[in-house]
Amino acid sequence: MADAIAAKGPTAPAPDAARVRHAKIVRDGFSRGFLMRPAAPGATSPADDPDAPLVAALRQGDERALAELIRRHGGRLRTLVLRFSGRRDEADDIVQETFVVAWKEAARWRPGAAPFAAFLTRVAINRAIDRARRARLWRWTGLAETAEPEDPAPGPEAAMIDAAETRAVLDDIRTLPDRQRAAILLAAEGDRGVAEIAATLGVSEGAAEQLLVRARRTLRTKLAARQDAGEGDQT
């Protein structure tokens, strides 16, 4: 997790006041049309967003800027989506799609609107949710060739799961409804408040809080059941 947080760069833990301001900027940016919103005086300055120069370069078609944005955010997004879906191929596809969108939308992005990193997160998690819905639909219609595998092959990421409990919790997370899953994973990234999670998912703060409460309740219940089962096995 420390790696994931460290990889976030622009959204590293900040003091409370700054975090509140950041969440407000994200919320306002999303609610007003994330990219088109002109810079609001006093809201933030381009200097507040370390990605602004790269987005400006990307607007000119600079592929090196794209590579740098991917270097900054690709790992974080890959982690988020991989936690969500458990599929590396899908995670890479979604990261790729996210940066295709980033490139296409770069011309419309305005410094001073919501941070570009938050925009990337929103695109990635919503793509992941869309894919999960489509996969369920295909399975429901019986047209899917096979059920969606979870971690089809033990890859390097499996080796990083150093505790059985963490692994079990991750498995539990993947059984949650899409939006609950997305909300709890966004929260687990460490420094997101309810306002930013709500903005990322495009729901109200109250709805985001309910998603988090339900997700935590389910996860806690399952953890308790495993604990009880473990104690039962020992007796």
Partner 1 sequence: MTGSTRQPLSMSRTEFEDSLDRHGGTLAQWPEAERRAAQSLVLSDRDAAAALALAARLDRALGALPAAPVELGYATRIAARVADRMAAPRLGRLAAAFGTTALAASLVAGFVLGTTLAPTDDASTLAALVLPDIDGGSSAGTSSGGTL
**List of residues contacting partner 1 (CB under 8 A):** 1, 3-4, 7, 63, 66-68, 70-71, 74-75, 78-79, 82-83, 88, 91-92, 95-96, 99-100, 103-104, 156-157, 160-163, 165-166, 168-170, 184-185, 187-188, 190, 209, 212-214, 216-217, 219-220, 223-224, 227
Instruction: Report the C-alpha gap between 180 and 207 in whole angstroms.
Output: 10
Q: How far is the CB of 221 from partner 1 (least distance, A)?
A: 9
CA distance 113 to 119: 10
**Of the candidates 151, 90, 97, 100, the residue with the CA atom closest to the CA atom of residue 124:** 97
Q: How far is the CB of 61 from partner 1 (least distance, A)?
A: 9
Amino acid at 29: G
Q: H-helix or E-strand containing 84?
A: helix 63-85
Residues 6 or more apart in contact with residue 234 via CB below 8 angstroms: none
Report the nearest approach of partner 1 to the CB of residue 41 (Å).
Answer: 29
Rounded distance, CA 136 to CA 143, Å?
A: 10
CB of 123 to partner 1, least distance (A): 13
Q: In angstroms, rounded to a whole number, what is the distance separating the alpha carbons of residues 176 and 71?
A: 30
**Minimal distance in Å, beta carbon 52 to partner 1?**
19
Considering the complex, state which of residue 1 and residue 18 has its C-beta at the smaller distance from partner 1: 1
**Contact of 173 with 83, CB cutoff 8 Å:** yes
